[in-house]
Structure 1
């Protein structure tokens, strides 16, 4: 009797477990198709985001850091870092724009480790270039109604400083993650192909309407309409574009809409991943290879 009861419980457990597996698969597909809310949470709970990237165990390329008082940012003192290998000739530059809540240092060291990813890239035979990052605050890399303009700071103040240090700012790329991904796409479109060779955006913070935006991302609906990159893909004509986003990222639906707006699909794509440093580290080797390829032409 006990054996029969145990067998019944086992069969019931297996049946429930099987239903659970089917339900999980169906739920994942529904979330993927945006039929259910809570995209980011559901992908995380179901373990659909893939493995985190690992910073290479190599010595980083040399870097130099400093500060200056930015007139474009209403007199704020901003920090910056340039990471680059030694070179006898001027190296091209990728200006890297950080995400919300981060700063120029977030691209390097233990957070994203791009100074080590760049060293590994070069050791594997990749073309060398410099990575230059600067503090943009949480202002979404465009002019704000209070006069703060981190985009103007990049163009009018940071790029001349990079050039004075011997780097070739005529061979320029823009890259960034989250808020910085939006900033790279927007600024790349503003400057155009005459100034920018490549734009690489990782998990860009995009919205399809002003009503959906995060608080503080834009001054108001008019500011959103003036600065959104959706509908302005042609501004990047002649610029090599790469856009990557994790399927479990809350921004993925808007990023899909943005990517679909190109006449020819940009490089990159969608794969398991969340809006996390772990995903951004996993994409770093591909991002750096893309930038190097187009900066070297």
Structure 2
């Protein structure tokens, strides 16, 4: 079941010149505002520097509902040759708002300068379940593992070789990396930005996303550091982030390839400072030979 809505690169951020743009990207916000968020900019984008953004509405058997499938590519590229990074949104987020901190714009700029090889992002609606099956029959992790590769292949996109996530999505990105390693299909890179890592059950229980402490322990990346396999991990967090203590413990235990703790909080101001580094981290690894 696929009801297709497509948004392509010839879009201006100051007007909805292409029929269907508002339907594809407006959500609860005005169409122009939502489009600018996906593009990662506050104003008009010059032709040739706009990411190619596409939104399809697809049915997820593992979530038992329709979800948005959003892809972001640099302009002027054949889709089938471009490796992809899953992009996981945070709590109360969605695919349309997963690209925080000007991520789309930073990707286009880095590829345009040839400082990184071309790659793209794919985002889906994962709900608020910390990217696991919190409610029976609603399994966003299975959607990522089983359905996203098929949806991309049907649209002639390249394979998923990396994962990027912010906040709850950072938690999910580390879980996804573990699941890929368990399948003997490790990612080439995982980037966790302000990952939602908590140190005690009472704090996590307030989020009502795990049935009990045992279920949380079975998923929590802090308790499964050794299960990430050979995947290079990058972690970025602000020193005033509410998840700073859990992230510091993860850094100490995992010894990631990049461990960046810099001034900032859990907000877009901080994300805009570190997103260029995230783009470079991924770009250096997406075309590397598999390590496992």
The alignment status of 1:65 with 2:50, answered yes or no, reads no
Match of 1:272 in 2: 263
Cα pair 1:145 1:219 within 8 Å, conserved: no
Once residues 223 and 216 of structure 2 are traced to their aligned partners in structure 1, the CA distance between those partners, rounded to angstroms, is 12
- Determine the structure 1 residue equivalent to 2:77: 87
Shift of 1:265: 3.8
- Give the distance between the partners of 2:229 and 2:136, measured in 1 at CA: 31
- Please, which moves more after superposition, 113-122 or 209-218? 209-218
1:227 pairs with one of 187, 207, 219? 219
Instruction: Give distance in 2, aligned partners of 1:175 and 1:71.
Output: 23
**Which whole-Å CA distance do the structure 2 matches of 1:116 and 1:265 have between them?**
26
Distance 1:292 1:239, change over 3 A: same
* Separation in structure 1 between the aligned mates of residue 259 and residue 250 of structure 2, nearest angstrom: 13
* 1:140 pairs with one of 110, 130, 133: 130
Partner of 2:10: none
Residue in 2 aligned with 1:98? 89
- Report if the CA contact (8 A) 1:72-1:149 is conserved: yes
Could you say what secondary structure the match of 2:185 adopts?
A: coil
Partner deviation per Cα, 1:161-195 (whole Å, 9 max, x = no partner): 112222221x5100110000000001101111623
Which has the larger share of helix?
1
Structure 1 distance, partners of 2:272, 2:124, is 19
User: How far off its partner does 1:222 sit?
Assistant: 1.8
Cα distance in 1 for partners of 2:212, 2:223 equals 18
1:118 to 101, 104, 107: 107
Match of 1:162 in 2: 152
TM-score by length of 1: 0.76
The residue that corresponds to 1:11 in the other structure is none
* Structure with greater Cα Rg: 1
Aligned twin of 1:78: 67
Q: Secondary structure, in 3 states, of the residue corresponding to 2:54?
A: strand
> Which residue of structure 1 lines up, in the alignment, with residue 241 of structure 2?
249
Is the 1:197–1:240 contact (alpha carbons within 8 Å) kept by the matching residues of 2? yes
Aligned mates of 1:287, 1:147 — CA distance in 2: 33
Moved over 4 A (4+): 54-58
Cα pair 1:106 1:112 within 8 Å, conserved = no
Unaligned runs of 5+ in 2: 1-39
Measure how far apart 1:55 and its partner are.
4.5
Provide the rounded CA distance (Å) in 2 between the counterparts of 1:105 and 1:282.
21
Rate the CA distance shift 1:217–1:266 in 2: closer, same or farther, 3 A: farther
- Aligned-residue offset at 1:292: 1.0
When normalised by structure 2's length, the TM-score is 0.77
CA-atom RMSD in angstroms = 1.9
The structure showing larger relative contact order (alpha-carbon pairs under 8 Å, at least 6 residues apart) is 1
Distance 1:282 1:217 in 2: 30
Structure 1 residue 124: deviation in Å? 1.6
Residues 179 and 205 in structure 1, CA contact (< 8 A), matched pair in contact too: yes
Q: Show the counterpart of 2:169.
A: 180
Answering whether residue 232 of structure 2 is matched by residue 240 of structure 1, we say: yes
Secondary structure of the equivalent of 1:269? strand
Check conservation: 1:55, 1:281, Cα contact below 8 A: no
Distance 1:209 1:240 in 2: 27
Q: Which residue of 1 aligns with 2:179?
A: 190
Alignment size in residue pairs: 239
Structure 1, gaps ≥5 residues long: 1-53
Whether 2:277 is the aligned partner of 1:283: answer no
